Chains A and B, each alone.
Chain A
Amino acid sequence: MSRERSFNIIRTLVSMLAAILVAFVIIFFVSDQPVESIKVFLVSPFSSVRYLGNIVETAVPLIFSGLAMAVMFKANLFNLGGEGVFFIAGVAGSFVAIWPQLPPVVMPLVCIVVGALAGMLVMLVPGALKAKYGANEMVTSLMMNNILLGVGLYLLNNVMREPSSASLVSYKYRNNALLSKIIPGTRIHSGFLIALVCAVLVYLFMYKSKWGYEIRMTGDNAKYAAYSGINVAKVIVIVHLVAGAIAGMGGIIECIGMHKRFEWTALPGYGFDGAMIAMLAGNNPIGVIGASLFVSYLRIGADLVNRASDVPTEMIAILQSIIILLISAERFLHKYKQNWIEKGAKK
């Protein structure tokens, strides 16, 4: 491994450590019994099978959104539409999960396919506008998020809503549609396995296929890629379709894996998490798994602290932005990087 690469890993680790230290500082100022809370934050997520299970099940949607964002970032596209895709794919898949009667195994598969298709369709809007006309994909995708939230809520309110329930939730999913639990004593569902398979597939797609090569070339230097005969517009559309499919799967898998009915009434927030996870992972699909587990460890820790004392879970947002800032800061630890690489060269 080159010294440059190992340095990037060190910098990532330092950023993670910095985030945890900031968590200490926040807990120290906010909590009534800081020492106890810090212990809860660090250790408790590992203290029982149930909490370990929580870490894994929280990581599942994060893996999907991290993968979608990693593909986007690799192509140098800043599309933040994962948010809206998660939501609308959840709505679309829920229609299948509620109404048609299908055999077991087939039913969740159909739900997931419908979710993925919905995601692809939705991502096609910013994708096509970017590919053909150069419209800024970040702004269009963020507008799409708000539009999809409105459309999804409209469908939930007017078509799927369970009238007898006081809160805004859909009818119950059919039992056949739910993903099976795979580890007793936890709520870890088969969606986790799908997420792992997905990560491997995305890795193969990005690093071993012709399209993946074209995507990476376009991301490195779009002008050069176009000059060397790569159809950049096609690449942009492919990236959006792939990312849409992944995020769509993530949305519906979260719904039929963790819930018994559709119960999101706001955007679930996974889109932005995906950006941070992709960065933690250095846009590497396999790394996304580890990054997702780390972030969900922080979340469960924050959640447990929140229960034990009075520190709001939103502390996580502060940690996440610090991670993004530090990891993307090229000059962060730059002096050490120089020395470290020079030392390697002298040997």
Chain B
Amino acid sequence: MSTFVKLIFSSDFFYSILRVTTPLLFASMGAVLSDVAGVPNIALEGIMLIAAFAGMYFSYLFNSALMGLLFAVLIAAAMAGVLAFFTLYYKTNIILGGIAINSLASGGTIFFLYLVAHDKGTSVALPSKVLPNVTIPFIQDIPVIGPIISGHNVLTYLAILAVIFTYFLLKRTSLGYHIRAVGEKKEAADSVGISVIRTQTIALVLSGVMCGFGGAFMSMGYVSWFSRDMVSGRGWIALAAEAMGMQGAIGTAATSFLFGIADALSNVVATLGWPSDLVKTIPYVATLAGLAIFSVRAYRRNRNA
């Protein structure tokens, strides 16, 4: 037990919380943006997976991490655009559209992985690039805190900016007002001249951009390769975080950190020789429990109100 405590109260552990929460932050901001606009994007999982693949492949192709990131974001935005096109113009049910994108991502990435790397498991054979880590001057020298918040992948800092961006976009900009109005009551928004389809398309594409960064982090930061289904439920965990954060950027970010802690915990426990099959389920159990507790409380609140 003492080794466990020692592992938890180390700056390494707190550093790893930030690291594993990064993709959750991006994805959950994508969930916030789309859900507030009234078009819940459940394809976060798949779009991140596609972005992870694109980041790996294009960074290898152009021999440049930046190009990888650029293509990851562009392709993720395009996938969200496809979803928007089908749901908003062809009136596909947004949930079914999301299922389609997820199934496309899960099999499609393996398809292309085999074409480019002749492997259906990982892309280790392809020398792809990773995005750099950033050490923050001065802060890195502060004892205890320095090693926790300095030296992260550049996308980790971007993820925190993404939360701030989402917060201000929704609260302070006219686009944010439009997005909220459309999500609240689209007929009313329409009657005052807000284009519902245009606003929802923008929200979905923005959520795709978020997934693009999140996916790029998976294959170009978290690890340095692509492997099949490597997003492993993070898109869904983000949806749960968004539900528990009550659609707000800050609350959702806070819940994402809770799930990030569970994830980091499972990584620590795994080193202690606990049964790995069960340890791997910790983040999902935490999410399920969190969602259950949240729903029970929301139910009680509604009943008392």
Contacts and interface: CB of A to CB of B under 8 A. Distances in A.
Interface residues of A, number: 45
A210 to B, nearest CB: 28
Interface string A122-138: 00010001001111101
Contact of B92 (A140, A144, A146, A325): A325
Given A325-B100, A330-B90, A312 B281 contact: no
B278 A312 contact: no
Contacts of B277: 150-151, 153-154, 157
Interface in A293-347: 312, 314-318, 320-322, 324-325, 328-332
A328 B101 CA distance: 13
B114 A312 contact: yes
The SS class assigned to the A binding surface is helix
A142 B43 CA distance: 13
B285 interface: yes
A321 B100 contact: yes
Contacts, number: 143
Nearest to B241: A139
Given A329-B86, A329-B90, A143 B287 contact: yes
A279 interface: yes
Interface string A1-45: 000000000000000000000000000001000000000000000
A320 B236 CA distance: 21
B103 A133 contact: no
Contacts of B115: 30, 312
Contacts of B284: 143-144, 146-147, 150
A324 B96 contact: yes
Given A136-B243, A151-B278, A318-B108, 10 more contacts: A78-B95, A133-B298, A136-B240, A139-B239, A143-B237, A143-B287, A147-B281, A147-B288, A317-B110, A324-B96
What 8 A-B pairs have minimum CB-CB distances, sorted nearest first?
Answer: A317-B107, A150-B281, A321-B104, A329-B90, A135-B295, A324-B100, A133-B295, A330-B91
B99 interface: yes
19 contacts: A78-B95, A125-B288, A133-B298, A139-B239, A139-B291, A143-B240, A143-B288, A147-B288, A150-B278, A154-B277, A157-B277, A272-B99, A312-B120, A314-B107, A314-B108, A315-B111, A324-B99, A324-B103, A330-B91
Given A139-B240, A139-B291, A132 B99 contact: no
A80 interface: yes
Interface string B292-305: 10111011000000
A223 B280 CA distance: 40
A226 to B, nearest CB: 15
Contact of B292 (A135, A153, A320, A332): A135
A275 interface: yes
Interface in B251-287: 275, 277-278, 280-281, 284-285, 287
Contacts of A140: 288, 291-292
Contacts of A331: 89-91
B102 interface: yes
B97 A144 contact: no
Interface in B225-239: 232-233, 236-237, 239
A254 to B, nearest CB: 19
Contact of A150 (B97, B102, B108, B280): B280
A236 to B, nearest CB: 13
Contacts of A78: 95
B288 A144 contact: yes
B40 to A, nearest CB: 9
A153 B236 CA distance: 21
A88 interface: no
A195 B110 CA distance: 30
A175 interface: no
A316 B107 contact: yes
A328 B97 contact: yes
B93 interface: yes
Contacts of B275: 154, 157-158
